[in-house]
Structures are given as C-alpha cells and as structure tokens.
Amino acid sequence: MPGFLRLLLLLLTLIPPLACQAGTGQAVPLAFLVDANGQENIESVSAPSRINDFRDLRHGFSGGYTRKVHWFRFTLSPPVSQNGESLPVSWLEIHPSYLDDIRLYQPDPARPGEFIERRTGDLQPFSSREIPYRSFILPVEFSTQEPMTLYLRLESSSSSLLILHQWAPEDFHSAEAGEYALLGAYYGVLLTVFIINLWQGLWRSDPLYRAYLFYLGCGLGLVFSLNGFTAQYLFPEYPWLSNLGPSLGTLLTGVSGAYFYRLILNIDQRTPILNVIYRGVQWFSILCLPAPFFDYYTEIAPVFLYSLVLLFVTGLFRSFQLWHREQPGGSFLIIAHAASLFGALSVSLSLLGILPGDFWMINGFQIGSLFTLLALALVLVQQVRAIDQENRLSRERIQIAETREEQERLARREQSRFIATLSHEIKTPLAIIDGAAQSLKLLLTGGDALVFRRIERIRRAVSRLEVLTGQFLDKDRVDDETLTVRPAMMDADNLCRETIRQLDAGQRIVFESSGTTRLQADEMLLQVALRNLLNNALKYAPAASEIQLRLNGTGHRLRFEVTNGGTAIPEAIQHTIFDSYVRGPTDDSIPGAGLGLYLVRRIAELHGGTIRLETNENDRIVFVLDIPRSPAEEQP
C-alpha cells in the first residue's frame, strides 16, 4: 500500500505543471438569441433589424436542458503571430465536445450579404471534422484585416452550453500537447487506481470492492466520453454511439455511485431515510437508462442531476457521522464527498443553465471526481488495514482460545483419571464395609434393636456413597468430548421394565406403555437417564407413595413421563433444575449431589432429545423425556 500511495502522489505532482502548459485561447464574447420553434434561418437572424434581439453575454453561454435552438453572434479579428504579424487563418474552438448540431455561418467574401454554412457536432462522423481534435475546431479565413461578424446555430439534446475560443494555429498546437499530457496524467492516475484494486483481487470476495471497481470504471468511461475521446478513438464512424456516451455514462455513474456509497457509508435498514434516498437514486438511474435511446434524456436529466446533488449532500452528512464514530477512513470519506459535492454542484449549475458555461465550471466534475476517487481509494486502504488488524487480533484470540481449550482438555483428562482411580479405590472399601455390616447383622441375631438400626444406617451411608460415586462417574463420561453415542435398535418397553426391576423400590413404580416402543438409541446411556429420573422421583416423593412411569410410542418420538407427588419445585430454580449440582427443595436427610437431572439432560441432548418439567392437572410433578426414534430425527 505505501508504494501505491507514492505512485499516486508522483502522478498527482505531474498535473499542475502540465495544467500550466495546457493553456486556453482567447475567449470570444457572445450575443445570443433564442429560437423557440426552430423556425429562424441565417437570413432572418442576420437582418439588421434583429441586432437588438441578441443579448450580450459576459461569460460563456448556458441554456440548460432544452429543445430550443439558440443563435449566437460574435466578432473575430485576425489573429496575430508571435512576431506580431496578422495571420489569414484563425481556429475557432467550440466546447463542450458533446454538442449535437453546430452550424457556423461565415460571410462569403465572393457574395456580399451571403454566408457560407459549415456543420459539425457529435452527430457527424469524426472523420468529417476539418481538424481532428476531441472537441470541434473550425478554421476561419480572413480576406481582409478587418474584424468579421459570424453567426452560430446550436441545437442539442444534451445541455445547451457553448464556450468559444479563438486560436492562432501555432498557439493551438503548442497548447494541445500540454492538454493531452494533462489528460494523460489524469487518466493515468485513475487507471492506476483501477488496476491496483483489480490486481489485489479483493473484489472476488468483497462486494464493496466490486462496487468500487464498477463505480471507478463508470467514472472513467464518463470522463472519456465527456472529453470527446469516444468519438475520436472508439467510434469515429458511428457518431450515434459516441453521442450516447455522455448520457449513458452519467446514468451508469449514478447507478454505480449510489450502490457503492450505500455500502461504504453503511446505509441499510438501520438508517431508513438515507436507505430510501440512496436506493431511490439507484433505481431511478436504472429506470432512466433507456431514455437516451429514445431521445428523452433532455427531459429526465434535470431531475437526475438534482438527485445526485441530494445524494452527495446526504453523503457528506453521513461521512461526518462516521468520522465522529471513528470509523476507519472517515476523514477521507468527508474529503471524497466534499470533492464530489463541489464537482456535482459546479457542473449541475452550469448544465441546468443557472450559472454560465465557464470552462473550469464545466470541468469541475472531472476535477472533483479525481479527488473523490482517490480519497475513496484511501478509504478502502484504511479499511483493509483495519480488517487486517482485526483479522490478526482474531487469529491471536483464536490461538489463545485453542491453547486454553487444550489446557482444559488436558485438565479434564487428568480429572477423569483421578475420578476413575478414586472411584475404584472407594468402591473396594465400601464393599468391605457393606459386607462387614451385613455379616455383623447376621452374627447379632436377636441382638439389640438399636444396634440393628445403626447397622442399617451404615449400609444406607455406604449405598449413598456408591450412588454418588456412580453419578460422578456418569457425569465424567457424558461430559467427555470424546464420548461416542452408539445407537442400536432396542425396545424401550423392555428397558423400562429392566430398570424398574433393578431398583430397590420397584414395587412403588406403576408402569404403563402404549404405541410402538422400538427406537435406535444407546441403551446403556438411556438406562442411566431413566434410572436417574426414577431415583429422583423416589427420593422426593412422600414415603410409600406411588410413582408413575408412562411410555408413549406414538409419532416419531418416544415420550417417557415420570410423575410423582413430591414437594413443588420453587419457580426460582425451575429454569436451573437441570444444571449440574442444583438440588430441589430438600433437607439433609435426602441424599444427592444435584447431578441426576443434569445427567438426564446431557443424555437427552446426546440423542437429540429434550427433558422438561411439567405439572399435571392434579398439581403433581411430571418430568417428560422425549427421545427421537432415530438419531437422524430433528428436535421439534
């Protein structure tokens, strides 16, 4: 990027000295007459009685977009060479280069009172021009040393502008070289920006860069047509094509500009008014594209120019907003819109006939567009730098997260090994203690009842420790990221009956089954979930109360319902009841570590199912476990 900026600065430093070389000829004072119906001819407008009908102009002429014909009267004196001698030929330069029908009437020295008509304009083939130049050059011959009055008729479907300069031929050739060098530097800067952005390849993935290249390409095409190079180099024998260039280029620049600015200014549904303005200008420009082909550009052009000015005014306001928010490139956005507004206002006021058609006023668009496109290129440079920095920070954050995740993974593995080892070490003494308690109970037949109660307390404590150890092992297993669920075809009805059989309080559980109960699931994990649901119900339900287990096999999912009449679960913990280490309303007499329902939830998730808490019509607590019949079934 720094090399790119240095190259642009080098090219820009060439423009001021070249501009000094590209001087202009002597401006020709004009007087004009409006021919509203196009009925006038040279005989009628040159009659002595019509002199007062012409209005003098202090500067260039600007009639706006109109179908009217304009006549001009002006006086030329023989040019003077560099050594002070009068020359017999003067070159009359006519600007701008997109005027349609120009007719010059010069007095005929052989027939006093008569005129010689000569035609030019962009509706004529370039090869028919007397002097091959991007705008229109008509040589004027002087038969005497006296000033000569000429007339010019102008009719154009584009804006009726007219700027005349008188040249000595040698002076024109000298200025032409500097002018073409200036324009070459101008196009060189824009082409350099275009090629560099194309070469970078960001347009392949980023719509903002595609929009910028589209906008830059349309801008290049527009100024190429406005300067007359389309007729000179591209379509010298097809004037109707070159005639379409300025109008189509202007509309396409409106389309691409509205789209690009909408992206770079972050205009979307969050900025509704600006979104309507920019989308409106974009679609209005698209709808107007056929107008030049059907000769309606004169009618739609004023509205289009006003919409462009509105676009740049609102864009300048939005640029200040983004600059205030410290968005990358915000200051260059302000410069870009200020330059665009300068160019749009200067050329629009001239094209609409509000300001005179001064040479620099008409070319203000090209000056403004140069700085606009360069400023926008710098905006993209800064945004790319910001994106690169953000990507670098993101990569660093990802690397830190991956390192932390790896550390956590290693810690979990160490924890799993520790829990497995600890559980193994605990189970052996627990089994010894339980066996010893049972043996002691058998040896003390007929002994003290108090001793028997203490032995039972020992066995319940051992059982509690075994349950807790099993839950810790189960939690460690279901939380292991390497766990693989191994679904196999099974019968949930058999699973429920087997789980009930294994529970000590199985006689309290009433089981009902309906529908088709076959499914694909990991039988071992599903049994862990079902056992924890039933154990949870047995613990929290009143002693000797009935627990209901219903299995419903209708539809694509199996529904396990475990209902008990235990204490209502407070609403404050209902949304966390399935988290780890969360216990329901209890006292110290109810064993548990708050892992049972968590294990149910994790196993349900591993199967693509759900677990939820409900209350039935009798205000009894219902835990509902939904499991899809197939692992491919999605959650509802």
Q: Cα separations (Å) of 168 from 25, 87, 92, 97, 107?
A: 8, 8, 9, 20, 20
Q: How far apart are CA 604 and CA 333, in angstroms?
A: 54
Give the residue carrying structure tokens 């993935």: 205
**Model confidence band, residue 307 (pLDDT cutoffs 50, 70, 90):** very high
For residue 463, what pLDDT is reported?
A: 65
Strand, coil or helix: 355: coil
Q: Give the tokens for residue 241.
A: 């094509």
Note if the pTM is more than 0.75.
no
Question: Taking a C-beta distance cutoff of 8 angstroms, is the pair 104, 118 a contact?
Answer: yes
pLDDT, tens only, 46-80: 999 999 999 998 777 999 999 999 999 999 999 88
Q: What is the pLDDT of residue 224?
A: 92
Mean of pLDDT values over 550-555 = 88
Structure tokens given for 587: 């006292």
Quick one: 390 and 283 in the same domain? Answer: yes
The residue with greater pLDDT, 496 or 483, is 496
Give me the percent of the chain exceeding a pLDDT of 70.
82
Lowest average pLDDT, out of 189-193, 274-278, 593-597, goes to 593-597
| Predicted pLDDT at 634 | 47
- Tell me, yes or no, whether 10 lies in a domain: no
d(CA 345, CA 361): 9
Sequential DSSP letters for 289-329 = TTGGGGT-HHHHHHHHHHHHHHHHHHHHHHHHHHHHTT-TT
Q: Residue 446 domain-assigned?
A: yes
Q: Which of 123-127, 230-234, 338-342 has the weakest average pLDDT? A: 338-342
Angle between helical axes of 523-540 and 596-606 (0-180°, round to 10)? 150
Q: Which of residues 458, 476, 494 is at a domain's end?
A: 476
Confidence of residue 18 (pLDDT cuts 50, 70, 90): very low
**Whether residue 154 is found in the same domain as residue 189:** no
Q: Measured at the alpha carbon of residue 36, what is the angle toward residues 30 and 38, in degrees to the nearest 5?
A: 90
The residue that leads in pLDDT, 477 or 324, is 324
pLDDT tens per residue, range 269-303: 889 999 999 999 999 999 999 999 999 999 999 99
Specify the higher pLDDT residue, 493 or 424.
Answer: 493
* Domain co-membership, 458 together with 595: no
Same-domain pairing of 471 and 494: no
Host domain of residue 354: 182-395
Q: Considering the chain, what is the average pLDDT of its residues?
A: 83
Please say which residue of 427, 443, 476 terminates a domain. 476
Instruction: Please check whether residues 469 and 492 belong to one and the same domain.
Output: no
CATH of the domain at 144: 2.60.40.2380
Asked whether the predicted pLDDT for residue 558 surpasses 80, the reply is yes
Separation in Å, CA 287 to CA 210, 245, 254, 452, 469 = 22, 17, 11, 97, 75
Highest-scoring range by mean pLDDT, 244-253, 361-370, 384-393, 434-443: 244-253
pLDDT for 591 equals: 57
Residue showing tokens 């939904």: 626
Q: Domain check: are 282 and 234 in the same one?
A: yes
Q: In angstroms, rounded to a whole number, what is the distance separating the alpha carbons of residues 470 and 527?
A: 13
- Please compute the mean of the pLDDT values over residues 449-474 and round it to a whole number: 67
Within this chain, do residues 44 and 103 fall inside the same structural domain, yes or no? yes
> Residue 389 burial by CB count (10 A; 0-12/13-18/19+): exposed, middle or buried?
exposed
Do 79 and 90 contact (CB within 8 A), yes or no?
Answer: yes
Say which CATH number the domain at 526 has. 3.30.565.10
Which residue reads 């190429």 in tokens?
Answer: 224
Q: What is the number of domains present in the chain?
A: 4
Indicate if the pLDDT at residue 35 is higher than 90: yes
H runs (alpha helix) in 22-153: 42-45
Residue 636, pLDDT score: 41
Residue 442 reports pLDDT greater than 90 = no
Among 395, 415, 449, which residue terminates a domain?
395
15 domain-assigned = no
Residue 577: predicted pLDDT: 82
Say yes or no: 352 and 416 in one domain: no
Q: For residue 150, what pLDDT band results from cuts at 50, 70 and 90?
A: very high
For residue 90, being part of any structural domain is answered with: yes
Q: Is the same domain home to 234 and 375?
A: yes
Q: For residues 207 and 139, state if they share a domain.
A: no
Domain-located, residue 2: no
Does residue 349 fall inside a structural domain?
yes
**Please, which contacts does 540-545 make with residues 24 or more away whose CB atoms are closer than 8 Å?**
540/564, 540/566, 540/567, 540/584, 540/586, 540/590, 540/621, 541/565, 541/566, 542/566, 544/508, 545/508
Looking at the structure, do residues 67 and 101 belong to the same domain, yes or no? yes
Mean pLDDT check: name the lowest of 283-292, 336-345, 378-387, 444-453.
444-453
Mean pLDDT of 485-489: 85
189 and 265 in a single domain? The answer is yes
Instruction: Judge whether 462 and 430 are in contact, CB under 8 Å.
Output: yes
Give the span between the Cα atoms of 220 and 65, in whole angstroms. Answer: 24
**Residue at 558 is within a domain:** yes
**137 within some domain:** yes
pLDDT 10s digits, 201-238: 888 888 999 999 999 999 999 999 999 999 999 999 99
